[in-house]
Structure 1
Amino acid sequence: MTKLLYQTGFNNEHETEALPDSLPKGQFSPQKVNYQLYAEQFSSTAFTAPRASNRRSWTYRLRPSIAMGDFQPISFDKIVTAPHSTPCPPNVMRWNPLPLPTTDTHFLEGMVTIAANGDAQQHAGMAVHVYTANVGMGNMAFYNADGELLFVPQLGTMEVVTEFGKLQVAAGEILVIPRGIKFAITPIDGPIRGYICENYGTPFTLPERGPVGANGYANQRDFKYPVAWFEDNESAHRLICKFSGHFYEATLDHSPFDVVAWVGNSAPYKYALRDFNVINSVSYDHPDPSIFTVLTSPSEHEGTANIDFVIFPPRWMVAENTFRPPYYHRNVMSEFMGLIEGTYDAKEEGFLPGGMSLHNCMTPHGPEAQVFNNASNASLTPQKYENTMAFMFESRFVIAPTEFALSTPLKQKDYLRCWDGLTKHFDGSK
């Protein structure tokens, strides 16, 4: 018999149990649950949110989550929550990758904030972090009350233990952990590095397809959720919480990963970016990046996202009689880019895997000078972009770099120079 590893389907109602009949039948909170478990509901939207956007799960666990000690303040001084007061210049910016740790560093110790916007307490905006780690978190668990976490691994594979089960996540995949869910991260095959979008706003969902129809973009069946797994462990554990921009620690006399069964649609999930079905131009003009949206966090303004998560994966470029790379542009949305592997087609030099760039609202940007010259004179035969994966966090709010991001030696001082060759070619006779 094949062992079920994952539940599939985005935002579907899942049910899973680690022990037979540990999941109640017919009601969520019976007077007594089999195995003398406790019923606990986890809600990541308001109780009265519309059915299509309402997210909640029932968990059946050895102890309720309140079986814990009081929280006490602790500090992780490289992690910043919006709003923050560092002035934000309108310059284009780019950073080299964060170095891998040379001493034992767990996930929270290796996490640093690059930029943020909005206001976590108002449930609007986001923060962008990068993380590195080379050891596990031991008897430590973490949850974030300020927002859900979208992980974009760039290097290595990690095991993520959550209240809802285990997920193994590698570079080329993404992981989303809803606001408030406890988890711990352990590197599997060496050091790990990646990016995190901390979403203060509406939970991520799949974008509407519109005229594209039923099968383009990311498909629901390709999203994977953990099956129930628990440990009956009565050793001391540390529970770290990020709440309203500050960190707190509480002690437990047991493992927090004690959910024997669960049912619902609010749970961690992962997705392989290679499964994205690219829709692209076959006539002329470079398509807007919105056509590559994997997940979106909507705002109250229709068509204007709190955050869009966009990827630029391997794909064919077939457009004729046109300039194929991204065109020069200024726009109202702010763009934070990262590179998972390979080369991004608009930035062939200096944009490294693990690196990142920031082009804020109305700051002009586009292909570097050499890319422009090459693309303007290229033979317009079908071309396949291979061995590449870039992504973008796009937001309606200005993405303000932190003091660390503005002062770190990783910030490239000469990024603007890549456009130096954009000289005038004007010919008044044509």
Structure 2
Amino acid sequence: VALFQYLSGFGNEFSSEDPCCPGALPEGQNNPQVCPYGLYTEQLSGYAFTCTQPSNKMSWFYRILPFVRHKLYTAMHCGSLTDNWDEVEPDPNQLQLLPFSITKSIKPSAGDTKSHNRIGIHMFTCNTSMVDRCVLMYSPTFLPLAVPQQGEIVITTEFGKMMVEPNEICVIQKELRFSGDVFGETRGYVLEVCQPGTHRCVATGYTVINKYQGKLFSSQQMCDFSPFNLVTWHGNYTPNKYNLDIFMVIKCVVFETCIENLRHRQKVRGPSPLTFSSNGF
């Protein structure tokens, strides 16, 4: 774990640069006519450009090859993944979140994947790392939150790597490609939130698995390049993780007296003011 270095803070402006390429991050501008080292400039925006500046978060990428350098996508077998809520029999009984078998997974969801207005709770199990593979949630609305319940996961995104352990949560911004490395039998939960929004404008036989409108597709990265070919980046729209050991739940005085509205670590705003699509964590 000591090998991982993190940037700390909520809503801060961050930057990172490959030490092998000093000066790769442009100074005083975001999109120079000629980037250092011949890199390509891309912007990852989490919101519409018409939003107010405080709520319009974005990051700038400077990479070896553009995001779009991949072959055509082809459909692949979805396994037990489903986007049809009608396929699951309703059960009004109170259910316990008991540990589930490593060999099985259940993926319930609610809403419509095409209208981008839904949430889903996925249970995942795995025992092998993603070798030469990554996942792209190519939806203008997908925002996954991962909660490992057993085992550690090293998540690689275009921003870098981070170790996520049990009792931690991890948020991966929409339109990011990511892969996971595990060290044995691993299981946990993923909260999937879909709401109307905007999408990325650009967005070794490396396989890219694309989840689009509830279905899976695969593509090969061109020129034998890893999709994580960023040299430097800066911005405030980044993946993050949080240690739940330092979060105190309301009405459970562990280390201080909290205020009444301190009930959730993260919320997802709903379509109406003062409403929330998800209040978990």
Task: Work out which of the residue numbers 182, 188, 191 in structure 1 matches 2:177.
Answer: 182
* 2:241 counterpart of 1:241: no
Aligned amino acid, residue 92 of structure 2: P
2:155, 2:178 within 8 Å by CA — same for their partners in 1? yes
Q: Secondary structure at the match of 1:66?
A: coil
Which position in structure 2 is the counterpart of 1:388? Answer: none
1:120, 1:126 within 8 Å by CA — same for their partners in 2? no
TM-score, length basis structure 1: 0.57
Task: Work out which of the residue numbers 186, 207, 211 in structure 2 matches 1:192.
Answer: 186
1:279, 1:291 within 8 Å by CA — same for their partners in 2? yes
* 2:91 counterpart of 1:120: no
Counterpart-to-counterpart distance in 1, 2:106 and 2:39: 38
Counterpart-to-counterpart distance in 2, 1:296 and 1:82: 25
Alignment of 1:90-169 (within 5 A): 90-94=92-96, 96-101=98-103, 112-113=106-107, 115-146=108-139, 147-169=142-164
CA RMSD of aligned residues (A): 2.6
Counterpart-to-counterpart distance in 2, 1:4 and 1:129: 27
Aligned amino acid, residue 130 of structure 1: M
Structure 2: any 5+ residue segments left out of the alignment?
198-203
Structure 1: any 5+ residue segments left out of the alignment?
102-109, 204-234, 311-430
Q: Considering Cα pairs closer than 8 Å and 6+ residues apart, tell me whether 1 or 2 has the greater RCO.
A: 2
Shift of 1:143: 1.2
Write out per-residue CA displacement over residues 99-132 of structure 1, whole angstroms, 9 at most, x where no aligned residue: 124xxxxxxxx7641x211223323221100111
Which position in structure 2 is the counterpart of 1:280? Answer: 251
1:149 and 1:279, CA in 2 relative to 1: closer, same or farther beyond 3 A?
same
1:82, 1:127 within 8 Å by CA — same for their partners in 2? no
Counterpart-to-counterpart distance in 1, 2:4 and 2:126: 29
1:156 and 1:281, CA in 2 relative to 1: closer, same or farther beyond 3 A?
closer
Which position in structure 2 is the counterpart of 1:263? Answer: 234
2:4, 2:161 within 8 Å by CA — same for their partners in 1? no
Shift of 1:176: 0.6
* 2:168 counterpart of 1:173: yes
1:124, 1:306 within 8 Å by CA — same for their partners in 2? no
1:167 and 1:202, CA in 2 relative to 1: closer, same or farther beyond 3 A?
farther
| Range moving further from structure 2, 73-82 or 269-278 | 73-82
Write out per-residue CA displacement over residues 205-228 of structure 1, whole angstroms, 9 at most, x where no aligned residue: xxxxxxxxxxxxxxxxxxxxxxxx
* 2:39 counterpart of 1:37: yes
| Range moving further from structure 2, 142-151 or 119-128 | 119-128
Kindly, what percent of the aligned residue pairs are identical? 30
Write out per-residue CA displacement over residues 252-283 of structure 1, whole angstroms, 9 at most, x where no aligned residue: 1221011111111222111100121444378x
TM-score, length basis structure 2: 0.85
Write out per-residue CA displacement over residues 72-115 of structure 1, whole angstroms, 9 at most, x where no aligned residue: 111222112255454534333335422124xxxxxxxx7641x2
Shift of 1:309: 1.7
Tell me which structure has the larger Cα radius of gyration.
1
Counterpart-to-counterpart distance in 2, 1:83 and 1:26: 49
